[in-house]
Amino acid sequence: MAYLTLKDINKIYPNGFHAVHDFNLEIEKGEFIVFVGPSGCGKSTTLRMIAGLEDISKGDFLINGKRANEMGPREREIAMVFQSYALYPQMTVYDNLAFGLTLQGVDEDVIDEKVKKTAKILGLTDYLDRLPRALSGGQRQRVAVGRAIIRKVGIFLMDEPLSNLDAKQRVTMRSEITQIHRETGATTIYVTHDQTEAMTMADRIVVMKAGYVQQVGTPYELYFKPVNVFVAGFIGEPPMNFQRGTVKDGAICFGNNKLDLSKKLSAEQLAAYEGKGIVFGFRPESIVLGAQPDSYQLTSDVELTEMLGDNTNVYITSGDDKAILKVDPHDTPEVDSTITFSIPYANVYLFDGETEMVIDC
């Protein structure tokens, strides 16, 4: 039996806006689940329904097999970290950490031990006497996380907890949260719009768009087996290149290049798609410069290059069509030159032009 079950969960706000549609998910004990998707797709709404901060309009939410729709937030034994740290400004770090336990009437010695242990895990030992205003953003965020993990809870919910931090702090806190999850084993649901956070932290990711779940899977599954154009374009940086076209004589065109789809599709599939729209997708990093066997070979003009250190992004054009390639910085081509590159057949994704769902090939 799953630890948390979301069954056909819907949220319709009082103004009639349908923010979440038939959300289904089973979460195992100890899993780290990330909800990811663009702004407004319903991630926070779903999290808040799990937390008990928002009514569930339709559907069932179960904790350990028991219906929890009507349970209050406390009864659900949930700890939550928000985007705003919500620390008590007049209390020291020590008191901020201790506050929840003090309210519960926990013994002072026990509180002291827990505060010190939590501070150690989060590298806050030297800051226990400080007020929040005397801390950096990253340190404040640690206190907020500490306040949540100090209580032994089964479910740990985080809503964009790193969005107020700079890029470097985000990377550090990312690995710290993963580490804390490993140590506490708490079932965690983490909301972000950042696909890198999702990919690096999650056991499983739920990709949402406009209130609908698009795909649930491990980072590996989402990257290599996206179910539709949206997921394929959302996971990966730079995103997957898409070439939209109409199938003509079993091929579509990328600029001056004609791509023979019989390398990917069966005769029946080709016949079915003749005259119809198709989306040809390939990831910037899945190409090889030069001509290679078992690949689509294309020529294109180099419009711009961006040297990033570990790789170079190469912006190419062919006719009106554009794409980005990721190459070894030592192989960075000249701007305005014409290059040949290969996309191994195995690295090409085809999607139905109308439904945008992946074509099994």
Count of residues engaged in binding ligand ATP, rule: CB under 6 A: 13
Q: What is the CA radius of gyration of the chain?
A: 25
Judged by beta carbon, residue 119 or residue 191, the one nearer ligand ATP is: 191
187 — phi, psi (to 5°)? -60, 125
Nearer Cβ to ligand ATP, position 29 or 193? Answer: 193
Choice from 8, 13, 64, 306 touching ligand ATP (CB under 6 A)? 13
| 198 contributes a contact to ligand ATP by CB under 6 A | no
Strands (E), 193-309: 204-209, 212-217, 241-246, 251-254, 257-260, 277-282, 288-289, 295-307
The SS3 assignment for 70 reads coil
Q: Token pair for residue 167?
A: 């890029």
Q: Is 43 in the site for ligand ATP (CB under 6 A)?
A: yes
Residue of 5, 42, 305, 321 that binds ligand ATP (CB under 6 A)? 42
Options 4, 6, 19, 79; binder of ligand ATP; rule CB under 6 A: 19
Nearer to ligand ATP, 69 or 83 (CB): 83
Specify the stretch interacting with ligand ATP by CB under 6 A; choose among 39-47, 196-204, 268-276, 283-291. Answer: 39-47
Judged by CB under 6 A, which stretch of 35-43, 131-139, 194-202, 241-249 contacts ligand ATP? Answer: 35-43
- Minimum CB distance to ligand ATP smaller for 162 or for 252: 162
The Cα–Cα gap between 102 and 97 comes to 10
Nearest to 151 by CA among 107, 118, 189, 122: 118
CB of 58 to ligand ATP, least distance (A): 15
Longest dimension (CA), the chain: 78
Contact criterion met (CB below 8 Å) for 340 and 214 = no
Rounded Cα gap, residues 146 and 133, in angstroms: 17
Q: Which of 44, 195, 214, 342 contacts ligand ATP by CB under 6 A? A: 44
CB of 240 to ligand ATP, least distance (A): 22
Which 158-197 positions form the footprint of ligand ATP (CB under 6 A)? Answer: 193
Helix (H) or strand (E) holding 321: strand 321-327
Interface with ligand ATP (CB under 6 A): 13, 15, 17, 19, 37, 39-45, 193
